[in-house]
A and B are shown apart, each in its own frame.
Chain A
Amino acid sequence: MSTNAPAITPQIVADHGLTEEEYDRIVQAIGREPNLTELGIFSVMWSEHCSYKSSRIHLRKLPTKAPWVIQGPGENAGVIDIGDGQAAIFKMESHNHPSYIEPYQGAATGVGGILRDVFTMGARPVANMNALRFGRPDHPKMKHLISGVVRGIGGYGNCVGVPTVGGETNFHSAYDGNILVNAMTVGVAETDKIFYSAASGVGNPIVYVGSKTGRDGIHGATMASADFGEDAEAKRPTVQVGDPFTEKLLIEACLELMASDAIVAIQDMGAAGLTSSSIEMASKGGVGIRLDMDKVPQRETGMTAYEMMLSESQERMLMVLKPGREDFAEAIFRKWELDFAVIGEVTEAGPDGGRLVLVHRGETVCDIPLGPLADDAPLYDRPHVPTPALAPLAEFADSTNISIDLLTLLGSPDLASRRWIWEQYDHMVGADTVQRPGGDAAVVRVHGTKKGLAISTDCTPRYCFADPVEGGKQAIAECWRNITAVGAMPLATTDCMNFANPQRPEIMGQFVGCIEGMAAACTALDFPIVSGNVSLYNESKATGGGSAILPTPAIGGVGLLPDIDRMATIAFKSTGDIILLIGERSGDLGQSLWLREVRGLEGKDAGPPPRVDLEAERRTGDFVREAIRSGAVTACHDVSDGGVAVAVAEMALASGIGAMLDQPLAGGIAQSYFAEDQGLYVVTVRDAALVELLSKAEARGVTAARLGHTIANRLIFELPESDHAIPLASLRVAHESFFPKLMDAEL
């Protein structure tokens, strides 16, 4: 064993984020004190990020299976069958903390990481999405963060040539000190060319490809406490920097090699680098692994095994090749000007399983059993308390001016046009984007076919905060609804579970509640979860108070359109179409943006969120999808934030065609137009198709009611006292001004 490392002190243990109990558990597992390299490896593998130690027992409650699911959670990404021998491979992942520290590189490397998760499995990435949460727009740091994150996502995605086709962005003061950057990638592969990570074949070569390893992202506190006896400046931890050009080459080189039969297993080096990639490959395959650290391509001089194992350098992959195929593979990577090195081999598992052995400068610097690192990592059932139900909404006065309220909502941070964001993303490269950002779901054609993948990211954190169970349900249901609203069949989801400190029972209660709601909705809607990630400890004292983020289970869903010519968009198509509301209206204003933006009521004062009736959700959605595919529907948009009025306004703004809306319901203006009723769609039909559609709805037990009709240039609301007319030009100014005004002064 290496002797030049410092002895392990309680401080070093704490700096590695391990508790005393966890340290004792390590000593027990390996039968001696670990050295620093081994301790570092345990700390990485037992982190929340790798071990899911606080979340695992609850994540098991999520449905993950369906006949079309080829691979559920546990691999680099989820895989679903999309027919014709093709599969969609996708996952969403968080990069929250790095994006707060250095927004451009944090967001960029987040995109790079999720791309690798997907092409590692043999898929060509075809679409990127994201889910972003920022703090108050007027927070002193926020413009810098928004600007950096958006430039970072664009800078990476644009360069690798994968279109960023949509996403969602919210603002709330709960994210002032902890923004959320969740990135999703969807790829397409052939079902018989999917690559997995389980290593096998004793003696098979382990190959490192991609960029060289540097000291990127090695944990600061660890570095400060460890005396390596060399100059401190060179050891300073650095922000991970993304290189999308290298990533693009890595995609092409990997896909070229994947067309052969040379690969046994492949895994990207994610946040936990060489440590988690090598250990996961070995433990999944039930084998051991031996690495020669001297052979790891290094960008800096004098790197220790500890640094190489913990480095978060980007754009790297690890593969197990079939014996004798090294030269063939190396030629491909050399052609793409990438590093290629055989750094070890698969070793035989003993009776107690495989071992991780690292050799560096002629010494064995690590020799530990794999079992405790992965499968037998700590597992906690942390105490959790349910979130108390909120009191029903108190009586409130109705809207007194629908025009002003609508203009206020459309110009508010959560509803204003995101054009400023998406115009910085190349959302068309590949020439298969057939529904661009701004609609319910983005649609990307499967290259060379008539099929389309519909993709949406969704979550309403204020609902989750008010009622985690209903909020969890709603996040899944809204994603399902958005995919349905373009005419696609929702197939599966990925989740990015962003929460605060799980050691606080109320936070753990939010997590457990959201999972419960999500599981119920996934089951009811046949919409399983096939991949995902958990990001905990998103809270910061620095910004004043115990500032936990809102519970944010961001959902990314994928659906299939058999024929992109039978697709709905939100834009009205012509004047004189009938506007219908399909689904049940409850008029529930709890947690609505109208209450928040117009009445100043939010959080615990804003009542329970709208309920999702999962049975009605499915019945209504299935009907809407069929109506779209039959060609009867000319435009479709689901009702969500801001209610019916905002949905109609968005349809008008997308088209330049206006609408005349009939008298409101007896419950009043706010209930009719600003309630965020769930499972509700606004659709347009030609007059001639109306009767048939209504009778079909009735036969299916689906409520369809006339809302109005399309007209030129303005929105007119018929009201009991006097009609309100708003020119589309005014709506457009309100809708388009927020981001340019906020961001103009920013670089």
Chain B
Amino acid sequence: MKSAVIVFPGSNCDRDLAVAFEAVSGSRPAMVWHRETELPDGLDLIGVPGGFSYGDYLRSGAMAARSPVMQAVAQAAARGTFVLGICNGFQVLTETGLLPGALMRNAGTHFVCRDVALTVDNSQSAFTSRYGAGEQISFPVAHHDGNYFADVQTLDRLEQEGRVAFRYAESVNGSARNIAGILNDAGNVLGMMPHPERVIEKAHGGTDGRRLFEGLVESLMAKA
């Protein structure tokens, strides 16, 4: 599997995501600086990591979304390359329009970092195939702007098309319909606020996140 992790100024979960990719796939992802206009050839998977790209100034993810590299990411996504955006990465993907909606300030107005219970809404996607439908899992969140917003028509459409990958099983940030992660219509782009890469080994206190990466690698291998 050939993967890459995008690095913006202010990204800070780039290493964690690269470690997770390598842990399950055995190969080290390319780290791609935001000024690049082209991605490495033959990528199967692109990670858009968490952090505070451009300090979250203006709006979370807004300036990163206008980075040169994101045009290349959008083109790759259109060709079917898998894209996983976590936390700030999810914010970047909504700002680029690869995913609908927006992530607003948490309803409680505080930054929130803790384990949260999630339910797997769609276990058919490449990202969620190792989970059971409706299974409850636990991932950490760590964000200030995780309150998912989209208009009612968009929310209805996401639900009808099975594009809600994860929902919060508890009150976290005020997200519309408790949405924690969504897929694009082709199913090859996932954006999510919780951090699967922080629960991939026993030392993390949980391993629920590992299955996301394992399922993804398995799907990509099957495809290849």
Contact = CB atoms under 8 A, between A and B. Distances in A.
Direct A–B contact in complex, judged by CB atoms less than 8 Å apart:
yes
Contact of B16 (A151, A160, A424, A429): A429
A430 B16 contact: yes
Contact of A431 (B19, B110, B113): B19
A248 B51 CA distance: 11
Contacts of A434: 203-205
Contacts of A565: 203
A625 interface: no
Interface stretch (B5-13, B151-159, B213-221): B5-13
Interface in A213-267: 243-246, 248-249
Interface residues of A, number: 31
Contacts of A431: 16, 19-20, 197-198, 200, 204
Contact of B142 (A155, A158, A564): A158
A425 B141 CA distance: 11
Contact of B54 (A245, A445, A564): A245
B10 A429 contact: no
Nearest to B16: A431
A284 interface: no
Bin chain B's interface residue count. Answer: 20 to 34
Contact of A158 (B111, B203, B205): B111
Interface in A532-570: 564-565
A30 to B, nearest CB: 43
Given A426-B142, A431-B19, A434-B203, A248 B198 contact: no
Contacts of A429: 12-13, 16, 50, 142
A160 B12 contact: yes
Q: Classify the interface of chain A: helix, strand, loop or mixed.
A: loop
A429 B9 CA distance: 16
A303 interface: no
B99 interface: no
Contacts of B197: 431
Contacts of A430: 15-16
B169 to A, nearest CB: 18
B1 interface: no
Contacts of A155: 111
A747 B111 contact: no
A161 interface: yes
Contacts of A248: 9-10, 12, 52, 55
Contacts of B110: 151, 423-424
A243 B10 CA distance: 11
B27 interface: no
A428 interface: yes
Nearest to B51: A161
Report, nearest first, the 7 A-B pairs whose CB atoms are least far apart: A161-B12, A245-B55, A431-B16, A426-B142, A159-B52, A434-B203, A426-B113
Given A245-B54, A248-B10, A426-B142, 8 more contacts: A155-B111, A248-B52, A423-B114, A425-B111, A428-B195, A429-B12, A431-B16, A431-B204
Interface of B: 9-10, 12-13, 15-16, 19-20, 50-52, 54-57, 109-114, 140, 142, 144, 195, 197-198, 200, 203-205
